Amino acid sequence: MSEPELDVVGIGFGPSNLAMAIAVSEHNDGAGPGGGVTARFLERQPAFGWHRGMLLDDATMQVSFLKDLVTLRNPTSEFSFLRYLHSRGRLVDFINHKNLFPLRVEFHDYFAWAAEQVADQVTYGAEVLSVTPVEDAAGDVTAVDVLSRRGGRLVTHRARNLVVGTGLRPRLPEGIAASPRIWHTSDLLHNLPGIRDARPRRFVVVGAGQSAAEAVATLHGAFPEAEVYAVFSRYGYSPADDSAFANRIFDPDAVDEFYRAPESVKQLLMDYHGNTNYSVVDIDLINDLYRRAYQEKVLGRERLRMLNVSRLTQVTDGPAGVTATVRSLLTGEVTTLEADVLVCATGYHQADPYAVLGDVAELCLRDDQGRPKVGRDYRAATDPRLRAGVYLQGGTEHSHGITSALLSNTAVRVGEILESVLARRAAPASLVPA
């Protein structure tokens, strides 16, 4: 063992577990002797990073800066976005900007700034290899051993609770694999330098959401000699509903209401309010792309082309380029596009939070659709023998609503998880439910 038994081991260190580390740090600052929480977070990346491949210079956040890592939980926190701005000497400038939505690259810098302050809780470059149950004399699993590898060194951390924040995984269309000419938008900025000198003639971007529109705008601006084809099954890009009443779906109280609602009502709410987050685009970006397309029609040289109500049906990847076959859903007409690069803005899927848990996963319960059963405190429902806690930051959209993997409720969510860990630690073992 590399260190004593910990209260918490966090798997992954994106914004959610970063917020968790901050909550632990703030709790420990005010805790008396023996009241602190011991924690270690394990992250595969060599340093903090959040969607680096889409940190476009002019891309803005789609969530208010007040929904940062801490403010909704602790408005006086030293880890707030406003405190970050003050430390960077930009607080007055930001106020004068009169904008609730910072640049995405700026918010990433805020995350990195916060991560530096809790770096003592994090091990970067650590790949989790296994999670093994630790049984007591009665056969109950009271802790877990988390084995990780950093470089050539193996380290085991024993924990009474796991907080799983393994994040989202890029999704590509079925049958399509990433390659030097087929990209997911998560790799856009990583891959652009390798193609700049090749003088590309045509890009094809598949998708109708914010990332798709941003990729189209970026490629259209960065390669003034190239055509950019946007392929999507809608008639046009749909604007995000960020109106005041609709935004209540992201309120902390909405999690309580959603959790208690019948399954039929949960599905209705997801259907009604999907346009607050899924496959939608900021209206300013929609207007900008329309302006570009119209201007090109006026000038007689159309580089930005929209293949709407259409679907990608086949892709052939070769050393000289990509051949994309697109079929109109209205007429059945087939268009074949020879392109230098196909960009798939086809979203993400939630990684199975139990996939990293090994034998421990067998003690975690699922519903009849194979989804994790989760308590209101984000603690996985488990076999009674598993006394160690497994808390999920993500993978709970079906139980807790649309904010499951979003920044909107992160500050409040980690506070609730920490309260649950502390309450269970303080309670006599005989009174703690499995």
Q: What is the pLDDT of residues 112-171, one digit of tens each?
A: 999 999 999 999 999 999 999 999 999 999 999 999 999 999 999 999 999 999 888 999
Q: Specify whether 355 is located in the same domain as 344.
A: no
Mean pLDDT score of the chain, rounded to an integer?
A: 94
Total count of domains within the chain: 2
Q: Specify whether 145 is located in the same domain as 18.
A: yes
Q: What is the pLDDT of residues 76-95, one digit of tens each?
A: 999 999 999 999 999 999 99
Q: Does residue 399 belong to any structural domain of this protein?
A: yes
Q: Specify whether 374 is located in the same domain as 421.
A: yes
Q: Specify whether 134 is located in the same domain as 51.
A: yes
Domain that holds residue 200: 171-239+278-348
Binned at pLDDT 50, 70 and 90, residue 32 comes out as: low
Higher pLDDT, 224 or 277: 224
Q: Does residue 410 belong to any structural domain of this protein?
A: yes
Q: Does residue 215 belong to any structural domain of this protein?
A: yes
Q: Specify whether 185 is located in the same domain as 328.
A: yes
Q: Specify whether 112 is located in the same domain as 200.
A: no
Q: Specify whether 106 is located in the same domain as 55.
A: yes
Query: What percent of the chain shows pLDDT beyond 90?
Result: 85
Nearest to 411 by CA among 38, 8, 65, 10: 65
Q: Specify whether 157 is located in the same domain as 26.
A: yes
Q: Does residue 342 belong to any structural domain of this protein?
A: yes
Among candidate residues 318, 348, 378, the one where a domain is terminated? 348
Among candidate residues 290, 321, 348, the one where a domain is terminated? 348
Q: Specify whether 14 is located in the same domain as 141.
A: yes
**Would you say residue 416 has pLDDT above 60?**
yes
Mark out the alpha helices in 166-222 (DSSP H runs): 188-191, 210-222
Q: Specify whether 52 is located in the same domain as 127.
A: yes
Q: Does residue 84 belong to any structural domain of this protein?
A: yes
Q: What is the pLDDT of residues 173-210, one digit of tens each?
A: 999 999 999 999 999 999 999 999 899 999 999 999 99
User: Could you give phi then psi for residue 200, rounded to 5 degrees?
Assistant: -60, 145
What pLDDT does 2 receive?
A: 47
User: What is the rounded average pLDDT of the residues 90-113?
Assistant: 97
What's the CA gap between 302 and 292, in Å, rounded? 9
Q: What is the pLDDT of residues 33-58, one digit of tens each?
A: 668 999 999 999 999 999 999 999 99
Q: Specify whether 415 is located in the same domain as 341.
A: no
CATH number at residue 144: 3.50.50.60
Q: What is the pLDDT of residues 314-368, one digit of tens each?
A: 999 988 899 999 999 999 999 999 999 999 999 998 888 999 999 999 999 999 9
Strand order in the sheet with 202-206: 182-184, 341-344, 202-206, 227-231, 304-307
Q: Does residue 269 belong to any structural domain of this protein?
A: no
Q: Specify whether 68 is located in the same domain as 32.
A: yes
Among candidate residues 316, 348, 380, the one where a domain is terminated? 348
Bridge-based pairing of strands 182-184 and 8-11 is unpaired
Q: Does residue 190 belong to any structural domain of this protein?
A: yes
- Residue 80 CB contacts under 8 Å (≥ 6 apart), including other chains: 68, 69, 70, 71
